Amino acid sequence: MGQCFHRVANRSSGGLTGSNLAFLLARIPIESAFVELNTSLSALSFNTECGSLKAAVYVDNLYTMSRHTGAATSQMDLLLAFLRDTWGLHSKADSKRVLSTKGAPDDFSEDNDWIQEDCTEVLGWPIQADGGFAICWNRMRAKMWAAFYSNVMAPGWRKLGMRRRLVLLQRCVAPVVAHFLAVIPPSNASGVKLDRMQRRLVSAAMNNTRLTVESWVTFVRRSAKEASHWVEHNSEWWSRQWLRRAIAWCDHLERDSKQQLLHYESNANPELLSTRFSWAAALYRHHGPQWLADRRIFDQRSAWQETMYSRTGTRVIRGKVHTRFHDGIAYARSMLS
């Protein structure tokens, strides 16, 4: 980050229009704000073994991160004040949203103009306060069936033939599933549901009909067996692809995390040169599985812990314990070994 100059020519069709122009012009004021407020943001940022996570930007979207809600909103207030006073840029009142994790200390003031949510959108991905993926899974299911009826079951679909319809299913629906599953850690229950949905899609594409001597229960079982037979001999289960992609992403994070550690150990001012690293890699080793295991067995009798919703004093709120990333990777490696 630092001083940057770029000459913007007259607006032309196809060259600098829409998001491309916004992305080009947004970098100048945002990078100047990051440089000027670096010291102030560092005191409020989220610190890890690989430095501190302060803020991120994509076109005209700003994100800040901290251990406490008040510190995260304070970072954003500093950035917005700088952009308003220096560049004359203002944020919309309804665009200032904050997400606090379930069970976190409540330091959020109702007097400010921030909108507190249980789920927020980050570049199109829903992030839930309880660490779950139900909203993302439901969106995947809706998009999957929409792609199925728009392509495989489009008008005149019977003229394609069964094999062409099944090939079209792999080309149009499978990429939608892979896109949404990229942010969901694999688990046994989710894999079973995904296999069930794939069988239903394949069975619908086969256009099986019930025989007169069959009951509905027998027909459903026969259709499921035929769909499973076709997937095993002509395609692949989407759940298996999900496991392989999750392991490949984990291996990528491990490589990037090792490079980050080496970078921070060998540079005097590593934060000035660390923009090429991702947030995901920086958070990969922070409070990993061993830390979570220690927290589960940690016993500290205090007034705050006596209010926890468990006999062991390790849960702050009552609710489902969602699959963590390291648990999903361990499950994926065990299934593919």
Task: Annotate 288-325 with DSSP letters as a single string.
Answer: -HHHHHHHHH-----TTGGGSSSTTS--SS-S--PPPH
In the predicted structure, residue 302 carries a pLDDT above the cut 60:
no
Considering only 6-15, 22-31, 48-57, which range has the smallest mean pLDDT? 6-15
In the predicted structure, residue 154 carries a pLDDT above the cut 90:
no
- Number of domains into which the chain is organized: 2
Q: Is residue 311 part of a domain?
A: no
Query: Within this chain, do residues 95 and 146 fall inside the same structural domain, yes or no?
Result: no
Boundary residue ending a domain (183, 212, 243): 243
Q: Which pLDDT tens digit goes with each residue over 128-143?
A: 888 889 999 999 999 9
Residue with tokens 């694999």: 186
Query: Within this chain, do residues 116 and 178 fall inside the same structural domain, yes or no?
Result: no
Number of H helices, E strands in the chain: 12, 8
Query: Within this chain, do residues 74 and 168 fall inside the same structural domain, yes or no?
Result: no
Q: Is residue 294 part of a domain?
A: no
pLDDT value of residue 276? 65
Q: Is residue 63 part of a domain?
A: yes
Boundary residue ending a domain (222, 243, 264): 243
* Element of type H or E holding 128: strand 125-128
Q: Is residue 218 part of a domain?
A: yes
Query: Within this chain, do residues 115 and 155 fall inside the same structural domain, yes or no?
Result: no
In the predicted structure, residue 73 carries a pLDDT above the cut 70:
yes
pLDDT value of residue 210? 86
Q: Is residue 24 part of a domain?
A: yes
Query: Within this chain, do residues 23 and 101 fall inside the same structural domain, yes or no?
Result: yes
In the predicted structure, residue 268 carries a pLDDT above the cut 80:
no
Residue with tokens 């005209």: 60
CB-CB contact of 102 with 130 (8 Å): yes
pLDDT-derived band at 42, boundaries 50, 70, 90:
confident
State the chain's mean pLDDT as an integer. 81
Tokens at 175, concatenated: 């990429």
pLDDT value of residue 92? 82
Q: In terms of residue numbers, what domain contains 74?
A: 19-128
CA angle 117, 50, 97 (to 5 degrees): 15
CB-CB contact of 259 with 277 (8 Å): yes
Q: Which pLDDT tens digit goes with each residue over 178-205?
A: 999 998 999 999 999 999 999 999 998 8
Query: Within this chain, do residues 113 and 51 fall inside the same structural domain, yes or no?
Result: yes
CB-CB contact of 201 with 148 (8 Å): yes
Query: Within this chain, do residues 157 and 208 fall inside the same structural domain, yes or no?
Result: yes
pLDDT-derived band at 114, boundaries 50, 70, 90:
confident
In the predicted structure, residue 316 carries a pLDDT above the cut 70:
no
pLDDT value of residue 16? 46
What is the spatial distance between Cα 20 and Cα 39, in angstroms, rounded to a whole number? 30
Q: 231-246 burial by CB neighbour count: b if 16+ within 10 A, else e? A: beeeeebbbbebbeeb
Query: Within this chain, do residues 83 and 142 fall inside the same structural domain, yes or no?
Result: no
pTM higher than 0.85: no
Query: Within this chain, do residues 52 and 124 fall inside the same structural domain, yes or no?
Result: yes
Query: Within this chain, do residues 217 and 236 fall inside the same structural domain, yes or no?
Result: yes
Query: Within this chain, do residues 74 and 150 fall inside the same structural domain, yes or no?
Result: no
Q: Is residue 197 part of a domain?
A: yes
Boundary residue ending a domain (128, 148, 163): 128
Considering only 87-91, 150-154, 204-208, 293-297, which range has the smallest mean pLDDT? 293-297
pLDDT value of residue 311? 56
In the predicted structure, residue 22 carries a pLDDT above the cut 70:
no
Q: 55-58 and 61-64 as β-strands: parallel, antiparallel, unpaired?
A: antiparallel
Phi, psi of 298, rounded to the nearest 5 degrees: -75, 130
| Cα-Cα-Cα-Cα dihedral sign, residues 174, 179, 182, 185 | negative
Query: Within this chain, do residues 138 and 99 fall inside the same structural domain, yes or no?
Result: no
Closest CA to 96 of 46, 124, 61: 61
pLDDT-derived band at 163, boundaries 50, 70, 90:
confident
Closest CA to 185 of 334, 336, 286, 331: 331
Q: Please give the DSSP secondary-structure letter assigned to residue 204.
A: H
